[in-house]
Chains A and B, each alone.
Chain A
């Protein structure tokens, strides 16, 4: 397959209606590869996730991007770090579940969200440590309550 589009391909610069061909492609895509109906709906439902009360803890470290791969290591846990102001949330995702810690260490009530539905609840102990026995089935976020503060981690695909 010749992938070098900068190559001179022997065509003269005769104008043709590129817009027309693009429009045909657009119609073909609408028939052969449309947005699946459930995903179309999801874009609407996602608004329920807009949370005015919570601060967003942004992803500041992702082992997938920021760490060198370990040669030969098979099932390496995904390490994520989120940060909102002074608070840091470290999360490790494996095939078996989630493990994490809130820093500075403090107890927290944590909800694991996996879409615009109520999630499952966890508790972080006095040292801020928490675990979940099952890995998130898809994209997830953690909603943490500590004292009067509510923080939600950025949505991630585990």
Chain B
């Protein structure tokens, strides 16, 4: 079940909570999951259960405080070039440096997408890829609309990358 960690984290990140709030929501979702284990009879539904719980807690945080802090893009991007981080090993060869630059640009363009696309893609990029049921639970959108939205958001992202000459 801990294989669902990236899904829960993605849901929290999709809602742009501060680090402290993100950690607490993540914890709350897992603690409650453990508490209700006996009642979640179909293992296939665990992802949707966790995603939905995380989403509701995210909405409560947003409602309670308005201290919705935007994740700082430069801060995230800095991590690529920070010394001593695991990512540093990416820079160890020129080829890796080019790859790292591509990842950085991709992330930057992703962060600058409209809020709806950014949210959807942040959840879709969890590892392993979440089912549409999980995505629906994570974002409160109909399963049937996810496919077309996904296609459109990814196309939009590609267009941004092309405009920047990054593809």
Q: Measured between alpha carbons, how far is A43 from B96 in the docked complex, in Å?
A: 32
Q: Does B45 contact A (CB under 8 A)?
A: no
CB-based contact A33/B117 at 8 Å: no
CB-based contact B114/A154 at 8 Å: no
Q: How far is the CB of A76 from chain B (nearest CB, A)?
A: 10
CB-based contact A21/B90 at 8 Å: no
Cβ contacts under 8 Å, B122 to chain A = 29
Interface string of A28-42 (1 = CB under 8 A from B): 111111111001101
CB-based contact B34/A47 at 8 Å: yes
CB-based contact A5/B149 at 8 Å: yes
Q: Measured between alpha carbons, how far is A36 from B12 in the docked complex, in Å?
A: 12
Q: Does B68 contact A (CB under 8 A)?
A: no
- Closest-by-CB residue of B relative to A156 is B28
CB-based contact A39/B103 at 8 Å: no
CB-based contact B158/A64 at 8 Å: no
- Closest-by-CB residue of B relative to A1 is B114
Q: How far is the CB of B142 from chain A (nearest CB, A)?
A: 14
CB-based contact B24/A35 at 8 Å: no
State which of B24, B37, B79, B112 has its C-beta within 8 Å of the C-beta of A1: B112
Q: Measured between alpha carbons, how far is A36 from B61 in the docked complex, in Å?
A: 20
Cβ contacts under 8 Å, A51 to chain B = 35
- Closest-by-CB residue of A relative to B13 is A33
- Closest-by-CB residue of B relative to A48 is B34
CB-based contact B60/A33 at 8 Å: no
Q: How far is the CB of A60 from chain B (nearest CB, A)?
A: 15
CB-based contact A31/B155 at 8 Å: no
Q: Does A157 contact B (CB under 8 A)?
A: yes
State which of A4, A21, A115 has its C-beta within 8 Å of the C-beta of B31: A115
Q: How far is the CB of B37 from chain A (nearest CB, A)?
A: 5
CB-based contact A50/B116 at 8 Å: no
Q: Does B10 contact A (CB under 8 A)?
A: yes
CB-based contact A44/B35 at 8 Å: no
CB-based contact A32/B79 at 8 Å: yes
Q: How far is the CB of A140 from chain B (nearest CB, A)?
A: 9
The B-contacting residues of A in range 1-54, CB under 8 angstroms, are: 1-6, 9, 11, 16, 18, 21-22, 24-36, 39-40, 42-44, 46-52
Task: Supply 9 further A-B pairs (C-beta < 8 A) apart from A28-B107, A29-B125.
Answer: A9-B159, A29-B122, A29-B126, A35-B6, A43-B4, A46-B30, A48-B34, A154-B35, A155-B31
Sampled A-B contacts (26; CB under 8 Å): A1-B112, A5-B116, A11-B155, A11-B156, A18-B154, A21-B158, A24-B106, A25-B106, A25-B125, A27-B103, A29-B122, A29-B126, A29-B127, A31-B80, A32-B76, A32-B80, A42-B27, A42-B30, A46-B30, A47-B37, A48-B34, A49-B31, A50-B38, A65-B60, A115-B27, A139-B31
